[in-house]
Chains A and B, each alone.
Chain A
């Protein structure tokens, strides 16, 4: 702490007087501590505006105690006087204050950062350009990933097999409990909704058909993909964004290893391969959820419920569900890794990347689901 002087000085004060018409004498006294209510430079500026001066003489011999508060004031006054073309004399400043001022004034002024554009049209233009850049980056990412996948299929991609193994384990078996729970509950919900509606037509017996078809064709894949977007997609984004912050991604690039090959491709492959297996399991859990309601609410025998489900669900339904699952898996991995690699080099951006990965992943899944519905409908599948 920079302070000099006695133990209990009075409050900071400025006293101004004239020494001849052209010299304004500014006397500082008391304790100039940051924590106190200090007189502003504007007090002196008002006096300069009122009567003007060729020179300001600063006297600080009566300052008893001070810290950065005094330096801020003196520096502000020097800057203000320099801007007005007024000379400043400060013959009696404490030695340490002189040294601080010398340090401050010796600080080189670098080129200022670009100013943000002012007008509405400017801002619109900047946003449009930024959007175009993002679109270009997304296209590049998809293109690079496609090429990297091709290199992987032809055995030319650089990545570690053990990483892929860990990613497969993380995306598949580790996700089984949460996938089982969520899909079992979705089966229960569908069965309740089905029974409530079908009962109006006396057709509640068909709840096994409705639950079976809904789960196998769409719901299992959709729900599992959403769960994985929150689980694996967010994790991928956070991992890659952190690697950007710690310059691990730069290290890969400088080694001549494509981050897309090394980081993105294994994750895309892991989720694309594991999703169909997870969805098969999810199908089973969803049907069991429906069966739990069917057997308890309608007193239907479990074997009868399952037989009816098997009768209504076709192989095409199952294959369609699995194709969707693989697509959703790829989308979750792509959006997660893309968000991670797009992140800026700051810790806050890690969280932003994870959030964006989940949101973008879910939106991509829903859009893909809609497209599949339309295509399947078009071909009568």
Chain B
């Protein structure tokens, strides 16, 4: 069996003595749009932070292409993270920089491209997300949806193999959220990128997810995994209730 592009083995996440989620096993294949879903506070974003090394697991490991990320040293982790792009919930654009400077920074830091070539790549990436002509704008001059798209342009600056997206539709109106979903699909198709999305937005999960994992905050376990459409119809009761927007007893 080929190595998964991203994997999690027997992962337990905790804040001090408080266990958030335990014994997680995840295997993400190349080209997937893998959705981590669940109610607020169930540990979705914490899982993302563990995958990115922003938080250390209480036990278990995260793997990139079969290589342990958790046990890797600083330089190996840096090398593995070079294959990754992240779109944060609040976009996390550097507000003192223009959009062009935001997208250019990873290219300046991690490639030996000439400034004019960097400029071309920056224009291309911004054009890919529909922000051609906004190069010299500052993030605070843009709407929330445009900031998200600019964050996406920065996340794909280095042609990442894996794109992590935390709550893509957070603070966006539904039509803008759906447009961003479509853009994520297009970017995945265009760049052959594997996408990991953390969200509780049902429309987003059903719209773009190829496979989904449901984290249950109550039992602190993952209770279902599979295509979102199937989980919606034949998943465990808690998952079906989640999709239906129902309230659990």
Q: Do A and B come from one complex?
A: yes
Interface residues of A (CB under 8 A from B): 1-3, 34-35, 38, 67-68, 71-72, 75-76, 96, 99-100, 103-113, 245, 344-349
Asked if A107 contacts B127 (CB within 8 A), the reply is: yes
Asked if A103 contacts B95 (CB within 8 A), the reply is: no
Asked if A104 contacts B128 (CB within 8 A), the reply is: yes
Q: In the docked arrangement, what's the CA distance between A106 and B186, Å?
A: 12
Contacts of A104 in B (CB 8 A): 124, 127-128, 132
10 more CB-based (< 8 A) A-B contacts, given A96-B191, A108-B133, A112-B133: A1-B160, A3-B192, A34-B111, A34-B117, A67-B159, A76-B120, A104-B127, A107-B132, A109-B132, A245-B95
- Which of B133, B161, B187 makes the CB contact (< 8 A) with A109? B133
Q: Which residue of A lies closest to B118 (CB)?
A: A34
Describe A's contact surface by its main secondary structure: loop
Contacts of B112 in A (CB 8 A): 35
Contacts of B15 in A (CB 8 A): none
Q: In the docked arrangement, what's the CA distance between A347 and B125, Å?
A: 24
Q: In the docked arrangement, what's the CA distance between A99 and B193, Å?
A: 14
Asked if B130 contacts A106 (CB within 8 A), the reply is: yes
CB within 8 Å: A-B pair count: 90
Describe B's contact surface by its main secondary structure: loop
Asked if B124 contacts A346 (CB within 8 A), the reply is: no
Q: In the docked arrangement, what's the CA distance between A29 and B129, Å?
A: 28
Asked if A346 contacts B96 (CB within 8 A), the reply is: yes
Whole-angstrom distance between the Cβ of B184 and the nearest chain A Cβ: 12
- Which of B96, B134, B159, B187 makes the CB contact (< 8 A) with A1? B159
Asked if A107 contacts B131 (CB within 8 A), the reply is: yes
Asked if B133 contacts A110 (CB within 8 A), the reply is: yes
Question: B136 in the interface, Cβ–Cβ < 8 Å?
Answer: yes
Instruction: Give the B interface residue count (CB, 8 A).
Output: 36
Q: Which residue of A lies closest to B161 (CB)?
A: A1
Contacts of B190 in A (CB 8 A): 2, 96, 99-100, 103
Q: Which 10 A-B pairs have the closest CB atoms?
A: A348-B96, A346-B95, A107-B132, A100-B190, A345-B140, A107-B127, A104-B127, A346-B96, A109-B133, A72-B120
Given the contacts A1-B192, A67-B159, A72-B117, A100 and B140 also touching, CB distance less than 8 Å: no
Question: B189 in the interface, Cβ–Cβ < 8 Å?
Answer: yes
Contacts of A245 in B (CB 8 A): 95
Q: In the docked arrangement, what's the CA distance between A346 and B140, Å?
A: 7
Contacts of A106 in B (CB 8 A): 130
Q: Which residue of B lies closest to A111 (CB)?
A: B133
- Which of B137, B159, B161, B189 makes the CB contact (< 8 A) with A34? B159
Given the contacts A99-B189, A100-B190, A112-B133, A348 and B121 also touching, CB distance less than 8 Å: no
Q: In the docked arrangement, what's the CA distance between A35 and B112, Å?
A: 7
* Chain B 151-180 interface 0/1 with A at a Cβ cutoff of 8 Å (1 = within): 000000001110000000000000000000
Question: B233 in the interface, Cβ–Cβ < 8 Å?
Answer: no
Whole-angstrom distance between the Cβ of A114 and the nearest chain B Cβ: 10
Question: B19 in the interface, Cβ–Cβ < 8 Å?
Answer: no
Q: Which residue of A lies closest to B112 (CB)?
A: A35
Question: B72 in the interface, Cβ–Cβ < 8 Å?
Answer: no
Q: Which residue of A lies closest to B160 (CB)?
A: A1
Q: In the docked arrangement, what's the CA distance between A67 and B131, Å?
A: 20
Contacts of A100 in B (CB 8 A): 128, 190-191
Asked if B132 contacts A108 (CB within 8 A), the reply is: yes
Which of B113, B190, B193 has most A Cβ within 10 Å? B190
Whole-angstrom distance between the Cβ of A343 and the nearest chain B Cβ: 11
Question: B88 in the interface, Cβ–Cβ < 8 Å?
Answer: no
Which of A34, A109, A111, A346 has most B Cβ within 10 Å? A34
Q: Which residue of B lies closest to A352 (CB)?
A: B96
- Which of B83, B125, B136, B186 makes the CB contact (< 8 A) with A99? B186
Asked if A347 contacts B95 (CB within 8 A), the reply is: yes
Whole-angstrom distance between the Cβ of A173 and the nearest chain B Cβ: 34
Whole-angstrom distance between the Cβ of A46 and the nearest chain B Cβ: 17
Contacts of B138 in A (CB 8 A): 346
Contacts of A108 in B (CB 8 A): 130, 132-133
A-B contact pairs, 11 of them (CB 8 A): A34-B113, A35-B111, A35-B112, A72-B120, A100-B190, A107-B128, A108-B133, A345-B140, A346-B96, A347-B96, A348-B96
Asked if A68 contacts B121 (CB within 8 A), the reply is: yes
Q: In the docked arrangement, what's the CA distance between A99 and B120, Å?
A: 18
Q: Which residue of A lies closest to B162 (CB)?
A: A1
Q: In the docked arrangement, what's the CA distance between A75 and B127, Å?
A: 10
Q: In the docked arrangement, what's the CA distance between A38 and B121, Å?
A: 13
Asked if B124 contacts A68 (CB within 8 A), the reply is: yes
- Which of B94, B124, B133 makes the CB contact (< 8 A) with A71? B124
Asked if A113 contacts B121 (CB within 8 A), the reply is: no
Whole-angstrom distance between the Cβ of A248 and the nearest chain B Cβ: 14
Q: In the docked arrangement, what's the CA distance between A2 and B129, Å?
A: 17
- Which of A107, A113, A346 makes the CB contact (< 8 A) with B137? A113
